[in-house]
Amino acid sequence: IKNELLALVTVLFLQPAFAQSLKASKQRPNIVYIMSDDHAYQAISAYGHGLNSTPNIDRLAKEGVLFTRASVTNSLCAPSRAVLLTGKHSFINGKVDNEARFDWNQDNFAKALQQHGYQTALIGKIHMDGLPQGFDHSAVLIDQGEYYNPNFIINGTKQQLNGYVTDLTTDMAIDWIKNRDQGKPFCLLFHQKAPHREWLPAVRHLAEYTKMKFPEPKTLFDDFKNRGTAAKTAEMNILKNMNWAGDNKVPPAMMDELGLKGFMSWDKTAYNNMLGRMTTQEREAWDKVYNPIMEDFKSKYPSMSQEELMRWRYQRYMQDYLGTVAAVDEGVGRMLDFLKENGLDENTIVVYTSDQGFYLGEHGWFDKRFMYEESLRTPLLLRYPAEIKGGRTSEALVQNLDFAPTLLDYANVAIPPDMQGKSFRKLASGKDENWRDAIYYTYYEYPGIHAVKRHYGVRTDRYKLIHFYYDVDEWELYDLEKDPQELNNVYQDPKYKDVRARMHKKLEQLRKEYKDSTVNDKSFLPKKPKV
Ligand code: SGN
Ligand code: CA
C-alpha cells in the first residue's frame, strides 16, 4: 500500500495542472494589466449591446469576473492614467486635465511593486511627458501616438517602428514577458492606443468593417429637452462636430469639391498626416476600400438631408471605431494564448479595461468627459483562476481609483495609507465586502476641446447629482432606475426633494473624505488648456 500511495502521489505531481497550481500557490502572482484608449463597454460583446463581437475579451468574462458598473473619477485620458498609477483623485495627484504636468516623482504602485521584487514594464500609450518612473522597461507612444508606422520612445530613445500600432504594442508586450527574468514575478501595463480618434483600422479589417451596418442608439437625434446648458453646448455631435477628412475619411480634395468644412482647423492635416505615414502597399489597400465608399457618398451628398447625413456619419464612425477594436481584441487573444502556452495562465492576473468610456452615438455624441453613464463607466474584466470562478458579474461601484490598491493587495504589498482607492480583491472573488455606496467624480478640462463644462458630482446605486460650474452654476439630478438614459433632469422636481437633499449631503461627505477643495479655490484651477 505504501508503494501504491507513493505512485499516486508521483502521478499527481506529474500532472501539469497540479504542478502549476502548486507552484502558483507559492509564487506571488504576475499581473498583465491591459488598458485600451476610449474603449466603450458598449463595444465589448460580453456587455451584451449587440454592436460587435470581441470573442477574446469575452474569454475574460467567461473565465473571470465582469464589472457592470466600473467607472472612472475623471473621464479623460491622461488624468485617468494618473489615477491608475497613484490611486489618488486628480485634485490630489495634480494631473487634472490632459495639459497639466504629471509629476513622475510622486509615488505610484509600479514603484511599490518594484521595491518589493517585481519586474515592471509599461508598453503603449501613456500620454504623459517625461520618462516613466516605476518601470524597468518602457516603450511608450508620444502624446496620442500614431496608428501606422508609429514612433515609440523606448527607454528614453525615440524610434519609428514599422507596422500597425495595435499589433506592435501586442508584439512588444509578449516579447517583454518572453525575455523577463524568470526568477521574479512581473507586472506589465499593456496599453493600446486604439480605439482612440481618428480610428484607423488595420489593413486586414478594412474591407470587413466598412461593409457593416450598425444599429443606431435611441438617442442619436437627442434634442436635450429637460437637460442643462452643458449638454446643449458641448461640441461632440457626430453631425456638427466631427471632421470630414480626419474622422470620416472623406479625402480633402473631395471636401473642397463638395464645399465641406471640417469642425477642427486640423481636419485635412490630420488626414494627410495619418495616411501619409502608410507604406505604398498600405495606402493602396486603404484606397481600394475607401475610394468606392467616398465616390458613392459624393454622388449622394447633394440630395442628402441633415438626418441622412447624420446616419451616414454615424455608420462611418462605427465602422472605423469598431474596426480598430477588432485588432485590440485579437491582441488580447494572442496574449491569453501566450500565457497559456507558457504555463503562466494560472498565476497571472489579467485585467482588461479602458481609460474611460465613450459615446457611440448616444445623445448624438462621440468623445467622453461627461459624468453621464457612457463616459463615466468603463469596461472592467478580470481573470485570476486561483481566486475567481469564471462567469461572475459584479455591480459594485468600483473605480479606476481602486486599481493601484487592488493590484498591490494581490501582490501582497502593503497599500500606502494615502492612496484613496480601495482594494476590490475580495469583491472580485465574490466574498462579502462592505463596499462604498457612492462614487465621486471631477472634470476640469474647460475651456477646451469639445467644450464640456467643468463639473463634479456623486453617483449612488440609483441617483446621480452633478454640479456644472465655472461659467455656469447648474445642478442636475437623475433617477437612473426610472431614467437610465439620463434624459430628464429632476433637480427641480418637488417629488425628488428628499432625494436631492440626501444626495447633496452625500456629495459634501465625499468631498470632505477625498479632501477636495478645488471647486471654490480659484487659484487651483489650471491655466486655460489650449484648444
Ligand atoms: C484629441 C482628440 C479629441 C479628444 C482628445 C483627448 N481630437 O484632442 O477628440 O477628446 O484628444 O482624448 S483629435 O482631432 O486630435 O483627434 S484623450 O483620450 O487623450 O483624453
Ligand atoms: Ca482616452
The interface predicted TM-score of the complex, written ipTM, equals 0.96
Q: Which residue spans within 327-420 are E strands per DSSP?
A: 348-354, 380-383, 392-394
| Alpha-carbon span 452 to 471, nearest angstrom | 11
- For position 307, what pLDDT does the model report? 98
| HSE-CB for 492 with a 13 A CA cutoff | 5
For residue 490, give the nearest of 226, 296, 232 by alpha carbon.
Answer: 226
| Alpha-carbon span 106 to 224, nearest angstrom | 42
Pairing verdict, β 186-191 and 119-124: parallel
Contact call for residues 83 and 90 (beta carbons, < 8 A): yes
Q: Which residues of 376-402 are buried (b: 16+ CB within 10 A; e: fewer)?
A: bbbbbbbbbbebbeeebebebbbbbbb
For residue 301, give the nearest of 254, 267, 236 by alpha carbon.
Answer: 254
Q: From the CA of 395, how far away is ligand 2's center (Å)?
A: 23
Residue nearest to atom 16 of ligand 1 (CA): 197
- For position 49, what pLDDT does the model report? 97
| Alpha-carbon span 195 to 447, nearest angstrom | 25
- For position 529, what pLDDT does the model report? 46
| Alpha-carbon span 277 to 111, nearest angstrom | 36
- For position 432, what pLDDT does the model report? 81
- For position 10, what pLDDT does the model report? 54
Q: From the CA of 321, how far away is ligand 1's center (Å)?
A: 14
CA of 64: how far to CAs of 157, 352, 388, 435, in Å? 38, 11, 6, 20
For residue 511, give the nearest of 419, 435, 438 by alpha carbon.
Answer: 438
Q: Among 129, 197, 355, which is best to mutate for testing ligand 1, by the most ligand atoms less than 8 A from CB?
A: 197
Q: Which atom of ligand 1 is nearest to the CA of 37?
A: 18
Instruction: With residue 318 as reference, give the H or E element that holds it.
Output: helix 306-341
Each residue of 519-529: pLDDT tens digit? 777 666 655 54
| Alpha-carbon span 52 to 44, nearest angstrom | 7
Q: Which atom of ligand 1 is nearest to the CA of 356?
A: 18
CA of 123: how far to CAs of 23, 100, 175, 420, in Å? 28, 22, 11, 26
The list of the chain residues with pLDDT below 50 reads: 16-25, 529-531
Each residue of 360-385: pLDDT tens digit? 999 999 999 999 999 999 999 999 99
Instruction: With residue 188 as reference, give the H or E element that holds it.
Output: strand 186-191
Contact call for residues 71 and 397 (beta carbons, < 8 A): yes
- For position 473, what pLDDT does the model report? 95
- Helices and strands: H and E segment counts in the chain: 17, 14
The three grid cell numbers given for residue 426, joined into one nine-digit string: 475580495
- For position 95, what pLDDT does the model report? 95
In the numeric block, the cell 493600446 is attached to: 192
For residue 42, give the nearest of 335, 368, 280 by alpha carbon.
Answer: 368
Q: Which atom of ligand 1 is nearest to the CA of 38?
A: 18
499 Cβ neighbours under 8 A, 6+ residues apart: 463, 477, 479
Q: Which residues of 251-286 are buried (b: 16+ CB within 10 A; e: fewer)?
A: bbebbeeeebebebeebbbbbeebbebbeeebeebb
- For position 526, what pLDDT does the model report? 58
The three grid cell numbers given for residue 84, joined into one nine-digit string: 491608475
Q: From the CA of 26, how far away is ligand 2's center (Å)?
A: 37
Each residue of 13-50: pLDDT tens digit? 555 444 444 444 458 999 999 999 999 999 999 999 99
Pocket of ligand 1 (CB under 6 A): 37-38, 76-77, 98, 127, 144, 196-198, 246, 264, 270, 367, 449-450
The model's pTM: 0.94
- For position 24, what pLDDT does the model report? 46
Q: From the CA of 197, how far away is ligand 1's center (Å)?
A: 6
Q: Which atom of ligand 1 is nearest to the CA of 264?
A: 14
Q: How many of the other CB atoms lie within 10 Å of CB of 530?
A: 9
Q: Which residue spans within 425-486 are E strands per DSSP?
A: 438-443, 455-460, 463-468, 474-479
